[in-house]
């Protein structure tokens, strides 16, 4: 069977061969795959040529219902400034004490258990769920409900088809999620609070505010994007910590290395494997002609292991120069606005884990049970035995 970079392991030698000799290739689905770091960096900046799209060809989404990643300029810039200003106003540092006590509470429960526990369901998943709910201003008790809806959206057909068996658009496909978010927005309009949703509703940029449907669309996207990806970052890093006693000991001895470990995890195990784009103009790249209208995939995981950019890219190094130059958060005008929050959550989750846990033994050492989402990379389970 022909090699397919969209399903390849990150360390597959054939992926390295693409980077070396065939940086632009055609995948089985017909999309073009960019294997090299420099091409993904340039492509992410060239937002007029490459417009983000998870949708299947022919699927048309009304403007107000486009997710922020897929909105073309200049509308993207306006909406992005509204979101940035709401995030910036809500200082991320205020989240840290909340995150520390949450991680401690979770470990209180876990360390009571005698047998092995699943770190993903019992520790990793609740962290971004609760933190994003706290940041956005949703009631803490509701997180199980919207976390389940958020998984349902990611794993269903709405992102690609803008519909599922239940109906069209977000409101048709996931009505419970939409009703929930709409009622949060209506509450803030009635009774403003000192929180993110109130700011999102009231922030004005260039004389423009978000409409109700835009607010709902972007809020749902924030719930989802702050959740799934950060879960995979924490899960991937803990997977390595639990499976590599040397890494556990190094981080336990010198906590200042945890931030480096977070960056190296983002490079080696990026939670988002690819960026999907529609090519808007006929394009020549490395001798290939990509016609307007074709799909182009930026291989973030491949870029992060590009030998031209990183020394010894297939190995995890706690100390690298320019540790943040990986592409796990994308690049250009759509670069992830939640990067600081995700980094904070991962650092705190590992710090508290090392504070509380004396030793950790994986139930199935070296086994990586990945989530069944083609663009995502994170463990679905991580069964471990923990000792204080």
Cis peptide before 244 (omega within 30 of 0): no
Nearest CB to ligand HEM, comparing residues 342 and 386 = 342
Q: Contacts with ligand HEM in 50-79 (CB under 6 A)?
A: 52, 68-69
Q: State the nearest-atom distance from the C-beta of 234 to ligand HEM, in Å.
A: 8
Separation CA 136–CA 300 (nearest Å): 28
Please give the residue whose beta carbon sits closest to ligand HEM in the complex: 338
| Single residue of 338, 348, 357, 386 touching ligand HEM by CB under 6 A | 338
Burial class (CB in 10 A: 0-12, 13-18, 19+), 45: middle
Separation CA 76–CA 61 (nearest Å): 15
Q: State the nearest-atom distance from the C-beta of 127 to ligand HEM, in Å.
A: 11
| Single residue of 271, 299, 313, 378 touching ligand HEM by CB under 6 A | 271
| Single residue of 35, 51, 233, 297 touching ligand HEM by CB under 6 A | 233
Nearest in space to 153 (alpha carbons), one of 138, 137, 169, 130? 169
Query: Mask 201-230, x = binds ligand HEM (CB under 6 A)?
Result: --------------------xx--xx--xx
Residues 370 and 270: beta-carbon distance below 8 Å = no
Nearest CB to ligand HEM, comparing residues 174 and 386 = 174
Burial class (CB in 10 A: 0-12, 13-18, 19+), 298: buried
Q: How far apart are the first and last CA of the chain?
A: 48
Nearest CB to ligand HEM, comparing residues 336 and 362 = 336
Neighbours of 248 (CB within 10 A): 19
In the structure encoding, which two tokens stand for residue 231, read together? 């879960």
| Single residue of 22, 318, 336, 373 touching ligand HEM by CB under 6 A | 336
CA 331 to chain CA centroid, nearest Å: 13
Q: State the nearest-atom distance from the C-beta of 64 to ligand HEM, in Å.
A: 16
Stretch that binds ligand HEM, among 173-181, 194-202, 267-275, 380-388 (CB under 6 A): 267-275
Angle at which helix 143-155 crosses helix 175-190, to 10 degrees, equals: 130
Separation CA 62–CA 192 (nearest Å): 29
Q: Is 303 in the site for ligand HEM (CB under 6 A)?
A: no
Q: Is 137 in the site for ligand HEM (CB under 6 A)?
A: no
Separation CA 119–CA 111 (nearest Å): 11
Nearest CB to ligand HEM, comparing residues 296 and 386 = 296
Q: Is 117 in the site for ligand HEM (CB under 6 A)?
A: no
Residues forming contacts to ligand HEM in the complex (CB under 6 A) are 52, 68-69, 80, 221-222, 225-226, 229-230, 233, 271-272, 275, 328-330, 334, 336-338, 341-342
């Amino acid at each position: 069977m022909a090699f397919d970079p969209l399903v390849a392991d990150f360390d597959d030698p054939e992926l390295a061969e693409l980077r070396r000799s065939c940086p632009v290739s055609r995948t089985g689905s017909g999309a073009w795959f960019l294997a090299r770091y420099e091409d993904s960096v340039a492509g992410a900046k060239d937002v007029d040529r490459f417009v983000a799209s998870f949708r299947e060809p022919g699927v048309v989404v009304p403007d107000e219902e486009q997710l922020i990643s897929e909105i073309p300029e200049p509308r993207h810039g306006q909406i992005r400034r509204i979101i940035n200003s709401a995030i910036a106003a809500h200082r991320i540092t205020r989240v840290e004490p909340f995150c520390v006590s949450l991680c401690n509470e979770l470990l209180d429960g876990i360390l009571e258990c005698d047998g092995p526990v699943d770190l993903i369901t019992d520790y990793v998943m609740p962290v971004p769920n609760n933190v994003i709910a706290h940041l956005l201003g949703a009631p803490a008790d509701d997180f199980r409900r919207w976390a389940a809806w958020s998984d349902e959206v990611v794993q269903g057909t709405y992102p690609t088809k803008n519909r599922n068996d239940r109906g069209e658009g977000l409101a048709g496909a996931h009505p419970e999620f939409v009703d929930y978010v709409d009622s949060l927005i209506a509450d803030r309009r009635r009774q403003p609070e000192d929180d993110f949703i109130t700011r999102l509703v009231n922030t004005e940029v260039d004389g423009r505010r978000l409409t109700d449907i835009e607010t709902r669309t972007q809020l749902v996207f924030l719930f989802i994007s702050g959740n799934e990806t950060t879960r995979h970052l924490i899960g991937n890093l803990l997977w390595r910590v639990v499976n590599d006693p040397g890494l556990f000991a190094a981080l336990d001895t010198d906590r200042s290395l945890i931030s480096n470990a977070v960056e190296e995890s983002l490079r080696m195990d990026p939670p988002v494997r690819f960026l999907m784009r529609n090519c808007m103009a006929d394009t020549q790249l490395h001798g290939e002609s990509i016609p307007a209208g074709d799909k182009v995939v930026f291989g973030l995981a491949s870029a992060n292991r590009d030998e031209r950019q990183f020394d010894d890219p297939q190995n995890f190094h706690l100390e690298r120069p320019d540790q943040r130059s990986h592409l796990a958060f994308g690049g250009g005008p759509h670069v992830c606005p939640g990067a600081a929050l995700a980094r904070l959550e991962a650092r705190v989750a590992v710090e508290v884990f090392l504070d509380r846990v004396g030793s950790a033994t994986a139930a199935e050492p070296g086994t990586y049970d990945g989530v069944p989402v083609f663009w995502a990379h994170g463990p679905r389970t991580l069964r471990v035995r923990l000792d204080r």
